[in-house]
Every structure is written in structure tokens, then in C-alpha cells.
Structure 1
Amino acid sequence: MKLNYSSKREAKSIILSLEGDLIGDEAGPQLVEVISDAVQDKVENCIIDLKEVRYISSSGIGVLITMLTKMRNAGGEVYLASPSEHVKKLLLITKLNNIFTVFDSLEAAKEGVE
């Protein structure tokens, strides 16, 4: 399933809502571009809503790490919200849960970031 995404700006954060499979196809560079633009716009945090993501490949993990690196290099942070059980397991196996702050819901992430 192709990855679709939407982004919206809230205060000093950008919220990226992803839907589909994060496999690092053409959507990968587009997502990284969104982060690059956000950094230039002085966005401090990026919340990635994973509620509608069913699958993340190793390339998709690379995209997430690239986004995180870009934000951290600019003094910002990337947070993950609402991962499915499958995605939660993947974050544990890859130890990404130690790198990213993961929230169970978008609401919790918004509160945690404020």
C-alpha cells in the first residue's frame, strides 16, 4: 500500500500523519524534505503519527532516522505517536524505542511536547 502523508503546523511543532506502508519509496525523500523545510521554518519538534502505518521496512527505518538526525542537528526532536502493535514490536526489535520518544496517542504526544 502506497504511503500517503499530510503535515500540519501547530505552534513550534509539525505533525506528520502517515498512512500506508513506510518502505522508503518515493515518499521517503519527500518526508525528509518536509523535515528540511520545517527546520528552515524554525520548527522545533516533529510528531509522526503512525496510527495508519501497517508496515515499516528497513528503508522506512532509515527514513525515520534521517528525519530524526535532521531535527536533532537543528536542536529539535522527533516523536513517534500511535504505533500499531506490529510497529511497536519493530521499534523494540530494532531498539529504536531507545532512540525515539514514543507516545501511545497523538494527544499524549502533543501534551508531552508542549
Structure 2
Amino acid sequence: MNYKHTLTGDQLRLVFNGDLIGENNGPELVELVNNTLSKGAKYCLIDIADVRYINSSGIGVLITILTKFRNKGGELFLIKPSEHVKKLLIITKLQAIFNIVDTEEQALGKIN
């Protein structure tokens, strides 16, 4: 999986592309999150529109990121999951835990 990140004010934006397999990128992503939280990030917006597949370790990474932001009084938003990823979130009942939105604007509307 490839990803890009930007930190604007208190918002970390991540764009994932490919397969979210936690073993490959997990520790690197968690370190990035820790660094941005120490810089004052409060919200994490993850665009997962181009994620084709997520394994259990990938789900673990998303839950870890979610927990870190919520522990700091913030929130994580999953933006535009593919149909396959949406089904996975429903089957695992994780759609009840994550804030899932269709656009970045919807996420920003929930922040402000």
C-alpha cells in the first residue's frame, strides 16, 4: 500500500492506495500518527476510496489510529470506502465504531 499525508492545523489527512495490510505499513503509520498528535493534531481524515483490500492487521491499524485520536479528544473519519471495504466494515460491525463519510466536506462539517 502507498499513502500520502498532510497536516493542516489540527487535521491529519491520509490518502491510502492499494491493499491495507497492517504488517507492511502499520508501524510506520502508527509512528506518523504519534508524531502528528504530538504536534497538536486532533482529527484524522483517511481517504480509503482506492483501498482494494483490508486484512485483519489492516483493521487493527485503523482501530489503533482511531483509539489514539479519541484518547486525545479527537476523531477519525473514513472517507469514501469502496463497496468491498464497506461490506467488510458492515460484516465486522465496525461501521458502528468508525465515522464513515462520502466526502471530505462531510467530515469537515462534522468537525466544525
TM score, norm. by length of structure 1:
0.92
Distance 1:79 1:111 in 2: 11
Structure 2 residue identity aligned to 1:23? I
Which SS does the other structure have where 1:25 is aligned?
A: helix
Consecutive unaligned residues of structure 2, counting only runs of 5 or more, are none
Which SS does the other structure have where 1:26 is aligned?
A: helix
**2:81 is equivalent to residue 69 of structure 1:** no
2:105 corresponds, among 104, 107, 111, to 107
Which SS does the other structure have where 2:48 is aligned?
A: strand
The answer for the alignment partner of 1:25 in structure 2 is 23
Alpha-carbon shift at residue 39 of structure 1 (Å): 0.8
The answer for the alignment partner of 2:57 in structure 1 is 59
TM score, norm. by length of structure 2:
0.93
Distance 2:108 2:28 in 1: 23
The answer for the alignment partner of 1:5 in structure 2 is 3
The answer for the alignment partner of 1:88 in structure 2 is 86
Q: Which runs of 4+ in 1 moved over 6 A?
A: none
Alpha-carbon shift at residue 74 of structure 1 (Å): 1.4
Alpha-carbon shift at residue 110 of structure 1 (Å): 2.6
Distance 2:19 2:54 in 1: 6
Aligned-residue identity in percent: 50
Q: How many residues align?
A: 112
